[in-house]
Amino acid sequence: MLSWLGNLAAACMRPVQRYARMSKDDEDDPLFWSRDLDPHSLGEFSIAVVQSNQTFEDRCQVETGTDATFVGVYDGHGGPEAAQFVVDRLFGHFLRIVQDNESISEDVFKNAFLATEDEFLGHVRQKRHSNPLISASGSCCLVGVIWGRTLYIANAGDSRAIIGCLSRSNNVIAEQLTSDHNASKEEVRDELRSLHPDDPNIVFCRNGAWRVKGIIQVSRSIGDAYLKMPEFALDPSVPRFHLSEPLRRPVLTAEPSVYTRVIRPQDKFLVFASDGLWEHVTNQEAAEIVYNHPRAGIARRLVIAALQEAARKREMRYDDLKKIEKGVRRFFHDDISVIVIFIDQELPGANTSVPHLSVRGFIDAVGPSDFSSLDGIHIHA
């Protein structure tokens, strides 16, 4: 029997503490939010986010249960609407589809992404007359699920997940688990050209970067309705999102790449992050930071490392960077969301002391996780 839920009523009664403690590095940065450490089914996790855009466009979440953990990083663009919709709806679709199938598989993740996409496009259809620019709102989606001792990763866009593994010589090695669906990658450009052989302009370089239709770098997302259906085309008065020719078929897809592996003894932690981190910190650098520092506040430490590097590239200090207001900060770095998931191999199959928490970054929304729809279902992983 699936024992994710335990006693949800008891979980709701528990007082929820915020574990974040601001260090001298970020205590006076008003655009910073973090939680130092909370428990999950196989260990502990840490979250940190920092804003750069005038409106914060990233969203992230961790949902914990007795035997499972759900992680989501949603990097929005063209406004926050798509990322907000995803954080509100994707996990619910995942729960529903698992319940319907009484199993977990790669198709569960694909169907959850596509159900969220369909629902958001319907939302755009309802709202675009009063808010035309919602047609340009999209979100990269990176999801991870630890179910028992199996890891599932689903990704659409250029957020990234890595796993830190110990080598035989006890050195940490970063292994990238996801592919970046970004036109800067030659394999992504080749895929787009093979899917659109009749469109010589499916991808070309503009403003120093390869872009799909010369507009957007990512090739997969939820939202971006104007690049998926002709009915959502934007007026030429908005040149940033205007296509030079009518859309004949979708040029982006919401279907994720899905990766599955059994957690191995040498696997020690996972890092899920929006591309704002990876612009300034390499996979190996991130793994070594996590491995060589205390757990508490480790996600915050990764974000600060990225901010320090962003400042260094502009020949300034982080102390100066954090005084720059949102909006202007975007010229120095992107919104950044980081979640670090520790994997404690010594734990038994179930950690019954784990509270059923739903944690959502930046808005400080913390409450009981909704696993009730799966209570009592025997899941075939």
Q: pLDDT for 314-338, tens place per residue? A: 999 999 998 999 999 999 999 999 9
pLDDT-derived band at 203 (thresholds 50, 70, 90) equals very high
Kindly report, residue by residue over 177-198, the tens digit of the pLDDT: 999 999 999 999 999 999 999 9
Alpha-carbon torsion (176, 177, 181, 186), positive or negative = positive
Which element (helix H / strand E) includes 100?
helix 81-101
pLDDT of residue 373: 57
pLDDT category at 5 given cuts 50, 70, 90 is: very low
Task: Give the model's pLDDT for residue 25.
Answer: 53
Give the mean pLDDT of 361-378.
Answer: 64
pLDDT at 53 exceeding the cut of 50? yes
Mean pLDDT of the chain: 87
Question: The pTM is what?
Answer: 0.90
Residue 112 has pLDDT above 80, yes or no: yes
Most confident by average pLDDT, 40-44, 95-99, 229-233, 288-292: 288-292
Q: Dump pLDDT digits (tens) for 56-97.
A: 999 999 999 878 899 999 999 999 999 999 999 999 999 999
pLDDT of residue 149: 87
Read off the pLDDT band of 113 (50, 70, 90): very high
pLDDT of 123 > 70? The answer is: yes
Instruction: Give one DSSP letter per residue of 149-197, joined into a string.
Output: TEEEEEEESS-EEEEEEE-TTS-EEEEE-S---BTTSHHHHHHHHHH-T
Nearest to 366 by CA among 375, 357, 355: 357
**What are phi and psi for residue 51, nearest 5 degrees?**
-95, 145
Model pLDDT, residue 248: 87
Using CA atoms, how far apart are residues 124 and 225, in angstroms rounded to an integer?
Answer: 8
* Residues 59 and 361 sit within 8 Å (Cβ to Cβ): yes
Strand partners, 74: 59, 141
Helix axes 298-313, 283-291, angle to 10 degrees: 140
pLDDT at 10: 33
Residue with tokens 């990225």, as numbered in its chain: 306
Q: Is residue 269 within 8 Å of 15, Cβ to Cβ?
A: no
Residues sharing a CB contact under 8 Å with residue 112, sequence separation 6 or more, in sequence order: 90, 93, 94, 97, 154
Res. 7 pLDDT band, cuts 50 70 90: very low
Spatial separation of the C-alpha atoms in residues 381 and 373, rounded to whole Å = 17
pLDDT at residue 348 is higher than 80: no
% of the chain with per-residue pLDDT over 90: 71
> Considering the chain, what percentage of its residues have pLDDT values greater than 70?
86
8 Å CB contact between 303 and 335: no
DSSP bridge partners of 360: 61, 365
In whole angstroms, what is the distance from residue 195 CA to residue 255 CA? Answer: 14
Identify the pLDDT of residue 357. 84
Indicate the pLDDT class of residue 4, thresholds 50, 70 and 90: very low
Which of 196-205, 220-229, 237-246 has the highest average model confidence (pLDDT)?
A: 220-229
Residue 296: is its pLDDT beyond 80?
Answer: yes
Distances from the Cα of 252 to the Cα of 153, 197, 247, angstroms: 20, 15, 11
| Structural domains for the chain | 8-14+29-182+218-374 (3.60.40.10)
Specify the pLDDT at position 16: 32
- Which positions ≥6 away from 78 have C-beta within 8 Å? 133, 136, 137, 138, 223, 224, 241
pLDDT exceeds cutoff 60 at 346: yes
Q: What distance in Å separates the CA atoms of residue 377 and residue 99, rounded to the nearest whole number?
A: 7
Question: Between 9 and 249, where is the model more confident?
Answer: 249
| b/e code 263-275 from CB counts within 10 Å (16+ = b) | beeebbbbbbbbb
In the chain, % helix, strand, coil (3-state, to 5) comes to: 30, 30, 40
